[in-house]
């Protein structure tokens, strides 16, 4: 009894002292990493791209896919020269802010791909704006106001809500001739502005709108589905989780609801395959684009959602910009940002040639509308 207690206390003391020693030595190692005050020419010795995304947590399905495609781009295009450093944000702006500081302080990092959510972009913007401004390219933040010029080093490879909302509303109103639309947002930073946009566009066009919202963590939508009355023609779901839209659709079938589902680009994924539904997407089906077959084979893993491929393009743009900046042996972040602005990717995997506008948006962004057939087969309808 006495001996074991002693042993425990001794072990505890060892542990405490050791952990303090580890903390001290590990921080010494953090400090050994190049910091913002080091000379800028060192950047090309070990040029890196920082990856920010929700690799764990509720939005891991987005982050893991984005990380997979970023790694794929590094493997395929960087030729071992440019490295990827990952930072997990869990879609929490506070974590994004800390990871952002970490990336900003590391002079090896010349550009960042990510973060995923608009709220995270807002959280890291003040950090990346500081001296030694760090360019960053999001693969999924769609809030319109992000590219109003207030965040000078921000780029995104997806079109913003000001493109998607009107295209969607116009299609619902003019082609589907809907009179009565049921909109459900999923209470995320992605979903709410989009739902608001479509709602105001539809109301302006004289369409009756019933607005609801439901937390995306919920597994059962049946009580919400029961609320869809027989007058409703279209149910608009601007959701992040396609699997949820699939549940919603199945529960509509189960309760004999006849309305048509219209999903946003978040729903554009193999997880959602209710025949007869419509979805909007910013790229003509990536899997159907000619010349993409080898690209998809090369990814080696199964990919379901369309959160990944834009991240490939973001990483592709970053690698190109860094390589160009490093051609003369040294590079600064400002140089990389200048090169990013001049990005030109011919025949990108998202279809067509890829360029940024002066504000960092996708040039010539367009939304496509697809109709889903049996087995989830997509047909371009608008």
Q: Which residues pair with 235 in a beta bridge?
A: 182, 261
Region for residue 38 given its phi and psi (left: phi exceeds 0; alpha: psi -120 to 50; beta: otherwise): beta
Closest to 355 (Cα-Cα) out of 324, 296, 313, 308:
313
Q: What are phi and psi of 261, to 5 degrees?
A: -90, 135
Interaction between residue 201 and other proteins (CB under 8 A): no
| Interface of this chain with other proteins, residues 64 to 103, rule: CB under 8 A | 64-65, 86-88, 90-94, 97-99, 101-102
Interaction between residue 6 and other proteins (CB under 8 A): yes
Shortest reach from residue 82's CB to other proteins, in Å: 14
Shortest reach from residue 234's CB to other proteins, in Å: 18
Interaction between residue 42 and other proteins (CB under 8 A): no
CA dihedral 11, 12, 13, 16 (to 10 degrees): 120
Shortest reach from residue 247's CB to other proteins, in Å: 6
Burial of 257 (0-12, 13-18, 19+ CB in 10 A): buried
Taking the C-alpha atoms of residue 160 and residue 366, their distance in angstroms, rounded to an integer, is 10
Q: Would you say 106 or 280 has its CB closer to other proteins?
A: 106
| Interface of this chain with other proteins, residues 281 to 340, rule: CB under 8 A | 302, 304
Q: 165 and 197 in contact (C-beta within 8 Å)?
A: yes
Q: Would you say 232 or 317 has its CB closer to other proteins?
A: 232
Pairing of the two strands 83-88 and 48-53: parallel
Q: Would you say 253 or 287 has its CB closer to other proteins?
A: 253
Interaction between residue 31 and other proteins (CB under 8 A): yes
Show the binding pattern over residues 165-184: x = contacts other proteins (CB under 8 A), - = does not: -------------------x
| Interface of this chain with other proteins, residues 204 to 243, rule: CB under 8 A | 212-215, 217-220, 222-224, 226-227, 241-243
| Interface of this chain with other proteins, residues 247 to 266, rule: CB under 8 A | 247, 250, 253-256
| Interface of this chain with other proteins, residues 99 to 118, rule: CB under 8 A | 99, 101-102, 104-106, 118
Taking the C-alpha atoms of residue 193 and residue 196, their distance in angstroms, rounded to an integer, is 5
Q: How many residues bind other proteins (CB under 8 A)?
A: 92
Q: Tell me which of 43, 44, 49, 63 binds other proteins, using CB under 8 A.
A: 63
Taking the C-alpha atoms of residue 353 and residue 287, their distance in angstroms, rounded to an integer, is 17
Closest to 77 (Cα-Cα) out of 261, 305, 313:
313
Taking the C-alpha atoms of residue 8 and residue 104, their distance in angstroms, rounded to an integer, is 43
Interaction between residue 377 and other proteins (CB under 8 A): no
Show the binding pattern over residues 116-155: x = contacts other proteins (CB under 8 A), - = does not: --xx--xx-xx----------------x------------
Closest to 192 (Cα-Cα) out of 172, 208, 213:
213
Q: 225 and 257 in contact (C-beta within 8 Å)?
A: yes
Shortest reach from residue 138's CB to other proteins, in Å: 14
């Amino acid at each position: 009894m006495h001996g074991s207690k002693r042993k425990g206390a001794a072990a505890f003391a060892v542990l405490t002292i050791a952990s303090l020693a580890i903390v001290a030595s590990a921080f010494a190692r953090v400090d050994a990493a190049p910091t913002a005050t080091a000379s800028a020419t060192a950047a090309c010795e070990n040029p890196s791209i920082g990856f920010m995304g929700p690799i764990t947590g509720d939005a891991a399905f987005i982050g893991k896919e984005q990380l997979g495609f970023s790694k794929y781009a590094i493997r395929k295009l960087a030729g071992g020269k440019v490295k990827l450093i990952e930072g997990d944000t869990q879609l929490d702006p506070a974590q994004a802010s800390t990871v952002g500081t970490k990336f900003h302080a590391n002079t090896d990092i010349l550009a960042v791909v990510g973060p995923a959510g608009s709220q995270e972009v807002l959280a890291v913007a003040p950090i990346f704006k500081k001296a030694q401004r760090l360019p960053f390219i999001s693969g999924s933040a769609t809030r319109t106001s992000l590219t109003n010029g207030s965040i000078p080093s921000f780029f995104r490879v997806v079109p913003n809500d000001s493109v998607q909302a009107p295209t969607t509303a116009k299609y619902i109103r003019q082609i589907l001739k809907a009179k009565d639309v049921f909109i459900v947002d999923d209470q995320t930073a992605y979903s709410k502005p989009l739902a608001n946009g479509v709602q105001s566009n539809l109301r302006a066009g004289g369409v009756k709108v019933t607005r609801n919202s439901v937390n995306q963590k919920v597994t059962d939508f049946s009580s919400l589905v029961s609320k869809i009355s027989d007058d409703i023609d279209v149910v608009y779901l601007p959701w992040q989780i396609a699997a949820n839209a699939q549940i919603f659709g199945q529960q509509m079938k189960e309760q004999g609801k006849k309305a048509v589902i219209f999903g946003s680009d978040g729903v554009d994924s193999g997880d959602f395959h209710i025949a007869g539904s419509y979805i909007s997407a910013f790229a003509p089906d990536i899997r159907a684009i000619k010349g993409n077959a080898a690209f998809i084979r090369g990814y080696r893993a199964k990919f379901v959602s369309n959160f990944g491929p834009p991240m490939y393009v973001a990483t592709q743009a970053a690698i190109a910009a860094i390589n160009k900046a490093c051609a003369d042996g040294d590079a600064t972040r400002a140089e990389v940002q200048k090169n990013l602005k001049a990005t030109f990717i011919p025949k990108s995997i998202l279809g067509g040639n890829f360029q940024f506008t002066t504000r960092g948006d996708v040039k010539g962004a367009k939304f496509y509308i697809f109709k889903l057939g049996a087995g989830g087969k997509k047909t371009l309808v608008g």
